[in-house]
């Protein structure tokens, strides 16, 4: 993976900018979907934009940041094939990849400071999905999405 999406709201803007620079220093191309200032804005717009790009397969992974991370998680997980994981520490970031093959990392700037966030992003990007018994569950999620779409 050489390109990643990132978006936030005003509450996550500062952390988004730090993570964006961190990713670029690691050699990734970062597509910043906004916002481009810390002016008040609605997280829903940015979470939907990023999640739509992941859902269609245009991009493999993305990072969403708002104050708590909760709203972004709710919006992102409405999109088919998006597995957004709200993580607050290294262990949850790793497990979200190992067990759930998460493709969107959600961070809450109120709970995750920049140094920890960078460590989490690095771990998330470099942790592989384990497959095995976890693949069975991902298949179940895909079947649920399919049934919902058919209704």
Active site (annotated) includes residue 41: no
Structure tokens belonging to residue 105 = 């990392």
CB hemisphere CA count around 9 (13 angstroms): 23
Nearest Cα neighbor of 106 from 118, 91, 93, 116 is 93
* 66 flagged as catalytic: yes
Listed in sequence order, the residues at least 6 apart from 121 whose beta carbon sits closer than 8 Å to its beta carbon are 19, 22, 23, 63, 93, 105
The catalytically annotated residue of 10, 41, 88, 99 is 99
Which candidate in 66, 87, 88, 134 is catalytic?
Answer: 66
Q: Give the residue numbers annotated as catalytic, written as ranges.
A: 66, 99
């Amino acid at each position: 993976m050489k390109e990643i999406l990132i978006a936030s709201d005003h509450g996550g803007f500062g952390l988004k900018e730090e993570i964006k620079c961190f990713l670029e220093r690691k050699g990734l191309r970062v597509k910043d979907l906004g916002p481009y200032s810390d002016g008040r804005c609605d997280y829903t717009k940015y979470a939907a934009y990023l999640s739509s790009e992941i859902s269609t397969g245009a991009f493999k992974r993305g990072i969403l940041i708002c104050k708590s991370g909760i709203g972004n998680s709710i919006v992102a997980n409405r999109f088919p094939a998006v597995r957004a994981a709200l993580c607050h520490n290294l262990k949850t970031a790793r497990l979200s990849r190992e067990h759930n093959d998460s493709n969107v990392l959600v961070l809450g700037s109120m709970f995750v400071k920049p140094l920890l966030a960078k460590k989490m992003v690095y771990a998330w990007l470099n942790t592989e999905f384990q497959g095995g018994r976890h693949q069975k569950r991902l298949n179940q999620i895909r079947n649920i999405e399919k049934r919902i779409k058919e209704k």
